[in-house]
């Protein structure tokens, strides 16, 4: 997809919320990373998409994928982030077409943190973090992270998505109600 170089382009990080009916892989990622998410994608405006938006990421089943996206707040949590060079983001993403999912990278960078990775294979949060860094961002929280060390829940925390357990949320809510 060709595009004009736009400054400070808005993209969205879409974090997939694990549901009870999801498979064991989603549930295992949620459990291991201690948060509500098992997957993350980058969503961009795309006039060529039937929905007007395209999501890009890596999935275990497909490797790199690029598909239309429909905003759905019951399934995804979103965080808008600005990137400096949209063309660099697109060029980087297109260079990954055909790349496979990096299961060994997850094992050796997330579960057993040895930092072993394969730049020809990616997992979702590694791709999203790296793509944002390649495109450039003014969001300083992302400048010093190693993409291969980032899982979906860590990325959510880095971009300030506050997720809490229901008990904690209820306690905070009750305190606010008492103060009012």
Express each pLDDT in 94-142 by its tens digit: 999 999 999 888 888 888 878 777 889 999 999 999 999 999 998 888 8
Location of structure tokens 């949060």: 125
Express each pLDDT in 53-76 by its tens digit: 999 999 888 899 999 999 999 999
Between 46 and 172, name the one with better pLDDT: 46
* CA–CA separation, 34 and 23 (whole Å): 17
Neighbouring CB atoms inside 10 A of 8's CB total 12
List the structure tokens of 80: 């808008």
Q: Is the pTM of this model over 0.75?
A: yes
């Amino acid at each position: 997809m060709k595009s004009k170089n736009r400054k400070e382009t808005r993209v969205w990080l879409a974090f997939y919320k694990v549901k009870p009916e999801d498979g064991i892989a989603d549930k295992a990622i949620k459990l291991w990373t201690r948060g509500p998410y098992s997957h993350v994608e980058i969503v961009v405006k795309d006039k060529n998409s039937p929905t007007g938006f395209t999501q890009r990421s890596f999935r275990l089943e497909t490797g790199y994928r690029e598909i239309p996206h429909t905003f759905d707040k019951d399934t995804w949590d979103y965080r808008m982030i600005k990137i400096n060079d949209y063309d660099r983001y697109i060029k980087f993403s297109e260079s990954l077409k055909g790349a496979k999912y990096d299961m060994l990278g997850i094992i050796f960078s997330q579960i057993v943190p040895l930092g072993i990775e394969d730049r020809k294979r990616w997992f979702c949060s590694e791709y999203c973090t790296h793509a944002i860094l390649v495109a450039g961002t003014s969001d300083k929280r992302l400048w010093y992270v190693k993409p291969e060390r980032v899982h979906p829940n860590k990325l959510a925390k880095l971009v300030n998505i506050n997720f809490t357990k229901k008990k904690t949320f209820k306690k905070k809510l009750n305190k606010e109600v008492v103060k009012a």
